[in-house]
Structure 1
């Protein structure tokens, strides 16, 4: 249930009360019978850390030993290693000396 703050416009009495969304707004001060007004205050939201904009969809960091000097973030891909084809070995006929 949300907590609402009220302040009397005549005596200055201020208090907080838990009310359901469907409850009627209080209009009469319990101390002097004066008119009550709701007190609005900023919402207590705290953003911790460096910020979501820095970490969302961020590219993975490059290795520190990379030799790319471009600052645009796009670099040519590294050359693929050369492929060596291995030939199937054929069994050599055995030589037996009889």
Structure 2
């Protein structure tokens, strides 16, 4: 069950309340009895720990550097350019 922060706008009373999501909002302040009790917007109550995730963690393909990956050339030479494609000339 989530914990909600409530504050009375009339008297300033603040309280954290453990409530079900389906429970109705609290309206009456337990301190002064007025119907000015409001739910506050607060930060999420969890922290993300660890190294995180990467976009490659959830893909079906191989990861960089895995077996079967294309090896880099160590010679430092650029590959030879491919010959330009020629279309067969039609007799005209």
TM-score (norm: length of structure 1): 0.52
Counterpart-to-counterpart distance in 2, 1:42 and 1:69: 51
Q: 1:30 to 1:67 in 2, by over 3 A?
A: closer
| SS of aligned partner of 2:5 | strand
Are 1:41 and 2:42 matched, yes or no?
yes
| SS of aligned partner of 1:55 | helix
**Following TM superposition, by how much is the alpha carbon of 1:3 offset from its aligned partner in structure 2, in angstroms?**
1.6
* Residues paired across the two proteins, number: 68
TM-score (norm: length of structure 2): 0.55
Instruction: Please name the residue that 2:89 is paired with.
Output: none
Instruction: Please name the residue that 2:11 is paired with.
Output: 11
**Following TM superposition, by how much is the alpha carbon of 1:9 offset from its aligned partner in structure 2, in angstroms?**
0.4
Q: 1:50 to 1:5 in 2, by over 3 A?
A: closer
* Structure 1 unmatched runs, 5+: 71-98
Instruction: Please name the residue that 1:69 is paired with.
Output: 73
